[in-house]
Structure 1
Amino acid sequence: MAGVSSGKQIEYPFLERLIFGNRGIVLVLFALITLGFGYAASHLEINAGFRKQLPLDHEYMKTFQDYEVEFGGANRVFVALMDSSGNMFNKEFFTALEAVTEEVKLISEVDNARVRSIFTPNTRFVEIVEGGFAGGNVIPANFSTTVEGFEPTDEDFEQIRANIVKAGVVGRLVAKDYSGAMVQAELIPETAAEGGKLDYQDIGDRLEDIRRKYEKGNITVHIIGFAKVVDDIADGARSVVAFFAIAVALTWLLLFVYSTSFKLATLTIFAALVAVVWMLGALQLMGFGIDPMNMLTPFLIFAIAVSHGEQMINRFRGQIFFGGLEEGTPEELEQRRGVPPLQAAQRAFALILIPGMVALLSSCVGFGTILLIPVDMIYELAVTATVGVFLCIFTNMVMLPVLLSYTQLSNLDRKRRYRLRQITAFDHIWALLAKLSRPMVALLVLAAGVTAWYFAHQHAEKMMVGDAQDGVAELHPEARYNVDSRLITDRFSLSTDIINVIAEAGPFACSENFKAMELIDRFAWEMSNVPGVQQAIALPMVAKLVNAGYNEGSPKWRS
């Protein structure tokens, strides 16, 4: 069966003279460019950002930005200490908890005013007594594990347990079964950080230092939060280099089996790797980093470059084996004679140039449409992919055919016979598929397609939007982060998935506008009854407690 479409040999005399008439200069130029891009790529940094994942032009995100300083952002870190004995009320645990609280405060990117644990002064209890209110810190002032010789008593721990209940922090700062406690921290806004970004890998490393330092004896440390996600993904991204090497090796092996030529397989892989190096270097020169969430983009560019490179070597083989396109019967092809490598490369260049450029430019346009999504991380993905595909035009359409022009294939007759067998190897499959075009068979195929579409449509509404598992989907279920996330979700009534709803109701609405407070209270009640919501906290809840205190603790003021 014939190979590809027929037609008169297309020629581009000017381009062919320019490129193939100056092959040495072209290769030297490509080598210098590759060295330059390679040097730039060596300075490429992993660049992640919390705000990069947000659609900042959305009206909800504009509200978030307006109140980020007053109410804090959503970039939180949770450090949970658990006691394997199941009871946190012991000196070892409280010593570790107090120390971890202070260690978290020492992280420069942490907003100290928004660090919370039962040891911080912003965690207080309030109770109603005969004279009105009484309150204080959950941890009494005379309880400090840092004081030399301090030995807490059972009475001290009973007092702390009572204060925890009064403060209403069970499930938030203390595990529901009192098997552990939490240190919550909020990172400073990225806009307030030096250079307008936070070093999440450094933050993650500092958190890991805390884990290693205090995870001993009965104490285990569990950490979740965006900073830890980025750090773990970045650590995993380093292993991507090994996976990339495996992908390159497997691709080379498949190309070798297909082409039976060490040289052709190697040149195709080489051209694809040059495209990847150019892309990474171009990103650094444009001021971008590589986001851990976009770590698969080099694989994408490599795959596209290999695909177009394979088309080039396929045309090159057709010219060098048969002197033209692989058309006609095997007997007719057997009578043809090939052309020298330089002529074969020129013809392959002429055949592939326009179709290849159109395909690659179409891919650029396709990736470019992603730029319409107003999220910085997706914007970087679109730029990375578009630039990478565009650069493939030069590496695959120009550099590769020049390299092929120098390629002398060994065992040419044996490779030629193997190619003849390849051309007809799947004729029986194409003949079988051709039968599907017969009217009755085609109707059955269409009916099967419509049936499949119907069932797919029925189940499409069940498609889950969002995370399908606990933790983060970018990491394996057994990854330490996801294990920590499941434990914290089970033991505490919170997770990193926190929604802040800000109500704008005019001046003094919190103290003088009953309707506004009532609406907020009703909204909080509605949200607390939504499946998946663990807890809802709103200002009216605090107001009810205060009003009850001013009225001798009367229950009617709590309703």
Structure 2
Amino acid sequence: MGTIKQDTMPVISDPRDFDRRSGNLLERLVFNHRLLFVLVMASLTLLLGYQAATRLELRPSFEKMIPHGQPYIQNFLENRQSLRGLGNSVRVVVENTRDDIFDPEYLEVLKQVNDELFLAQGVDRAWMKSLWSPAVRWTEVTEEGFQGGPVMPDGYAGRPEDIEQLRQNINRAGIVGSLVASDFKSSMLVVPLLDRATASGQGIDYHQFSRLLEERLRDKYEFPGDSRARQAGEDGGGQYKIRVIGFAKLVGDLIDGLIQVMMFFGLAVLTSLAIIYLYTRCVRSTLLVVACSLTAVVWQLGIVAWLGYAIDPYSVLVPFLIFAIGVSHAAQKMNGIMQDIARGTHKLVAARYTFRRLFLAGVTALLADAVGFAVLMLIDIPVIQDLAITASIGVAVLIFTTLLMMPVALSYVGVGRKAAERALRIDTNAAAHRGFGHVWDFLDRFTTRRWATGAVLVAALMGLGGFWVALQLQIGDLDSGAPELRADSRYNRDNAYITSHYALSSDLFAVMVKTPPEGCLNYQTLVLADRLAWELQQHPGVQTTVSLVNAVRQITAGTFEGNPKMNSLQRNQNVLNYAAQQASVNTPELFNTDCSLMPVIAFLKDHKAQTLDEVVAIAERFARENSTPEHQFLLAAGNAGIEAATNIVVREANRTMLFYVYLAVILFCLITFRSWRAALVALLPLVLTSILCEALMVVMGIGVKVATLPVIALGVGIGVDYALYLLSVQLHYQRQGLSLSDAYKNAVAFTGRVVALVGITLAAGVVAWAWSPIKFQADMGILLTFMFLWNMLGALILIPALSHFLLPSAGQTRTERKKSRRAEAVPA
């Protein structure tokens, strides 16, 4: 085994002996005007920090969660004004734990809750439903014809006869299981939300709306005088319990969780400080590494605020990633400068040397990161596109804060003499096969045929096994409730209660039947809508279906004294017209004003990916076979329909996104290494990591959806950093004539330790997410931790193993020596 070879750059202890005119234009521009550069960077940091502090908003949006270009969503958006209640809504259940709903005190509480919600900003009041809503009506057939009225009796005053009348009206209205629980211990308020608040015209502030639900409802009725129990996520011990589900409440809970999660950012900073200090034993350089990474976060948030973007529950994770990537690159710069200073080079000269060696690899790595983020722009979901933009901005500013500012700052600050001597002593011991040398000697074995063959075979077997498991990866939610939150969260407990006590779930899938004006009353159209409802009902995941057909049948039978033979669709158009006229009073949500659109609504047992896929297949087939210019069957509305459309977009984007990410990585590697063999060496460990990550998602029960889709792309973009730094140095020494073994040992000595350091630091920074109250962030933390560590191991083990077969020693063949001389991965 050879020894570690000193770098060819001369040791210059006096900066006056250094040629300031050497280096490329960027190096001369930055280092020859260091003070001006530092002042400009400090001024920009203060300016952008002010922008972030004063203009940055946490503003989620229902609109940004849906793929606007997807045909189903386009159908929904074009007809949403006629589909009130089938879009964004909240369901509030008021439970009486000591009695039933026929308790005057309970009904008074329900009335107060109804009034609070009715007056709340952003509520579509005309379509709100509860026992106290005039729109919730009962009808019955008598010998004199139809009778009906609001379910809540006129002049209700809480008297026994009023309560008895209410009981009768509820039974006659047929709302048990929908607005009233099957055990009569709770009732539901359905609260549709507008896209914009009526008073201000601004988008709804979901966090504020969620706080209104907590403070004006739960604190007042469930936790009177004990809001701390509510904040702890507990159930109230009083007589009444308030249960809330819906997108607005989910987002509000996510934001509450994210506010708590911000302490994880502080934990990541402290963890990075501790790990880097233990590695360097130098306070000043450790603080500088973290300071430059935090500066990148400040720049990113400031630019995002300046451009008018807001932070949402998904893009709020971007600052964590930008900080982690910044620490990765800053640590490489710090390590290179420390090694040069240890050999006696002046800190300014050492900074310029490190800039020359690593700037190209750093820029290439950051460009690969940026492409990993930017490729997410291909996904037609605004929330992911915003994440891509904010993350790409963050990666771009790292070029200035980490690749440029870090070496310049170190040229002033330098590193401690003891820390530098310690780094040199570690290198000396490693060269003498002591200390870290045992680890490097072990890794060096993978450059030999026996160990390289074994490593490649094991990796191939793991890849095949992972690929077989990854074939079971599903798109969408795999569990009921809100998978973004933990199963024991208050939201999911509320959802479980509503699912178990109400016959009709909150997962609505609607097919829109579009006709010319008055066309929805055409007999043939109603027959087809009835057939569609029947076919949907045959699926075990569908609880029941509702459409105008149900109302027409009921009213027709009632018109003929309740004759069960008339409980059907009549060919007589006058009969159908009369039925529709009556339905417009009691069930106006079943068709629009000019009767040109009516939904066929299926209530699903859950919104799991398999259920949605199978229901969509039934509806698509029916629409394809039966749509004509007179009646078109359009998918899809309802929260389950919107989620089904989102799943379709995610499924299509998943492989496309990975294809473009890998294509970009390949191009960057080819530009950097100028060797297809080297590009393959860098790429194969990333492919293995991607496969194993998908297998891990299957094992953990995580589906590919909006929250998890970016993870693998981010893992590839960030993971290539390891290969770029390690392989570029290895090729640099190979092209100087060293054998693969000696070149790899020099690469490990120069950047390998930092590759391991960065992998551990990145993993330690995100592993704390596993304890997040937000489930999707916990899942992302586990997946990113796995990818960071596995990419590190892949770089340290598979790069030398693959290099044995694809990048043999430079002295083997004259042809390869000529090719190597024509390409310089790292400028001398």
Normalised by the length of structure 1, the TM-score is 0.89
**What is residue 147 of structure 2 aligned with on the other side?**
134
Matches of 2:81 and 2:62, distance apart in 1: 15
How far residue 427 of structure 1 moved from its aligned partner, in angstroms, is 4.5
Question: Which residue of the other structure, out of 8, 12, 15, is the alignment partner of 2:23?
Answer: 12
What does residue range 254-269 of structure 1 map to in structure 2 within 5 Å? 254-269=275-290
1:343-382 Cα offsets, whole Å, 9 max, x none, are 1111111111111111112221221111111211111100
2:473 to 459, 463, 469: 463
Code of the residue aligned with 2:424 in structure 1: it is: R
The Cα shift of 1:30 comes to 0.7
Distance 2:4 2:116 in 1: 69
Superposition map of 1:122-271 within 5 A: 122-144=135-157, 151-153=158-160, 155-190=161-196, 194=200, 196-208=202-214, 209-215=216-222, 217-271=238-292
Structure-to-structure mapping, 1:440-479, within 5 angstroms: 448-449=458-459, 451-479=461-489
Amino acid at match of 1:303: A
Q: Secondary structure at the match of 2:544?
A: coil
- 1:252-401 paired onto structure 2 within 5 Å: 252-322=273-343, 338-401=344-407
Offset of residue 191 of structure 1: 9.2
Mean CA deviation greater in 213-222 or 443-452 = 443-452
3-state SS of paired residue (2:508): coil
Give the CA deviation at 1:235.
Answer: 1.7
Question: What's the counterpart of residue 328 of structure 1?
Answer: none
Deviation digits for residues 95-118 of structure 1, max 9, x if unmatched? 111111111100021011011001
Name the structure 1 match of 2:775.
none
- Cα distance in 2 between the residues matched to 1:431 and 1:378: 44
Give the letter aligned to residue 476 of structure 1.
R
Residue of structure 1 aligned with 2:77, choices 65, 78, 89: 65
Aligned match of 2:502: 492
Question: Quick one: which of 516, 532, 539 aligns to 2:525?
Answer: 516
Contact 2:292/2:406 (<8 A) preserved: yes
CA shift at 1:239, angstroms?
A: 1.8
Kindly indicate whether residue 126 of structure 2 is the aligned counterpart of residue 120 of structure 1: no
Q: Tell me if 1:481 matches 2:494.
A: no
When residues 3 and 129 of structure 1 are mapped into structure 2, their CA distance, relative to the original with a 3 A threshold, is farther
The aligned amino acid for 1:523 is L
Instruction: State the 1:2 CA deviation.
Output: 6.5
SS in 1 for 2:507: coil
- The answer (yes or no) to whether the contact 2:137–2:173 under 8 Å persists in 1 is yes
Q: Which position in structure 2 is the counterpart of 1:50?
A: 62
State the distance in 1 between where 2:194 and 2:429 align.
66
- State how far apart, in whole Å, the 2-side matches of 1:452 and 1:53 are: 36
Residues 345, 533 of structure 1: CA spacing in aligned structure 2 closer, same or farther, 3 A cutoff?
same
Distance 1:198 1:558 in 2: 43
**Secondary structure at the counterpart of residue 500 of structure 1:** strand
Q: 2:424 matched to which residue of 1?
A: 416
Q: Secondary structure at the match of 1:534?
A: strand
1:493 Cα deviation from its structure 2 partner: 3.2
Bigger shift: residues 35-44 or 1-10: 1-10
Q: Which amino acid aligns with 2:221?
A: Y
- 1:507 aligns to 2:528 (yes or no): no
Which residue in 2 is equivalent to 1:23? 34
> What is the deviation of 1:132?
2.5
What amino acid is aligned across from residue 91 of structure 2 in structure 1?
F
What do the CA deviations read for 1:175-209 (whole angstroms, capped 9, x no partner)?
A: 12111001111111249784552211221122112
* Equivalent of 2:118 in 90, 105, 109: 105
Shift of residue 211, structure 1, vs aligned partner: 2.0
Is the deviation greater in 391-400 or in 258-267? 258-267
Among 527, 532, 535, the alignment partner of 1:526 is 535
Contact 2:429 2:436 in 1 (8 A): no
Q: CA deviation at 1:466?
A: 2.0
For 2:5 and 2:563, the matched residues in 1 are separated by 88
Q: CA RMSD in A?
A: 2.6
| Maintained 8 Å contact 2:30/2:37 | yes
Secondary structure at the aligned position of 2:187 is classed as strand
Q: 1:92 to 1:432 in 2, by over 3 A?
A: same
Cα offset for 1:519?
1.9
Counterpart in the other structure of 1:78: 91
Contact 2:48–2:302 (Cα < 8 Å) also in 1: yes
Deviation at 1:174, TM superposition (A): 0.7
Find the aligned partners of 2:137 and 2:177 in 1 and give their Cα distance.
15
For 1:503, what is the secondary structure of its paired residue? strand
Measured in 1, the distance between the counterparts of 2:364 and 2:115 equals 60
What's the TM-score once normalised by structure 2's chain length? 0.61
Residue aligned with 2:95, SS: strand
Give SS of 2:511's match.
coil
**How far is the alpha carbon of 1:440 from its aligned partner?**
6.9
**In structure 2, how many angstroms separate the alpha carbons of the residues matched to 1:520 and 1:173?**
25
CA distance in 1, matches of 2:266, 2:384: 26
Q: Partner residue of 1:331?
A: none
**Residues 272 and 214 of structure 1: CA distance in aligned 2, closer, same or farther (over 3 Å):** same
Corresponding residue of 1:553: 562
Contact kept in structure 2, 1:123 and 1:138, CA below 8 Å: yes
- Structure 2, unmatched stretches of 5+, are 11-20, 225-237, 569-828
CA distances 1:11-60 after superposition (whole Å, capped 9, x unpaired): 52533332222222111111100000000000201111100011111111
CA distance in 2 between partners of 1:3 and 1:247 (Å): 34
Q: Structure 2: how far apart are the matches of 1:86 and 1:178? A: 9
Determine what percentage of the aligned residue pairs are the same residue: 34
| Mapped contact 2:100–2:184 kept (Cα < 8 A) | yes
Q: Partners of 2:557 and 2:323 in 1: how far apart?
A: 67
Q: Say if 1:76 and 1:225, in contact at 8 Å, map to a contact too.
A: yes
Give the distance between the partners of 1:3 and 1:390, measured in 2 at CA.
Answer: 35
Aligned CA distance change for structure 1 residues 374 and 11 (closer, same or farther; 3 Å)? farther
Of 278-287 and 173-182, deviating more is: 173-182
Tell me which amino acid in the other structure corresponds to 2:220.
Answer: K
Aligned to 1:89: 102
Structure 1's 535 and 427: CA in aligned 2 closer, same or farther, altered over 3 A? farther
Further displaced range: 157-166 or 47-56? 157-166
Give me the whole-angstrom Cα distance separating, in 1, the residues matched to 2:164 and 2:204.
41
How many residue pairs match? The answer is 536
Q: After TM superposition, give the deviation of residue 453 of structure 1 in Å.
A: 4.7
**Maintained 8 Å contact 2:292/2:405:** yes
Query: 1:193 & 1:503 partners in 2: Cα distance?
Result: 33
**How big is the shift at 1:520?**
1.4
Q: Is the 8 A contact 2:177 2:501 kept in 1?
A: yes
Deviations 1:114-137 (A, max 9, x none): 110011111111112223222111
CA distance in 1, matches of 2:318, 2:327: 14
1:541 positional shift: 0.9
Residue 539 in structure 1 maps to residue 548 in structure 2: yes
Q: CA deviation at 1:93?
A: 1.1
Q: Name the CA shift for 1:419/1:168 in 2 (closer, same or farther; >3 Å).
A: farther
AA at the equivalent of 1:306: V
Q: Classify 1:515/1:447 alpha carbon distance in 2 versus 1 (closer, same or farther; 3 Å).
A: farther
Higher mean C-alpha displacement, 169-178 vs 244-253: 169-178
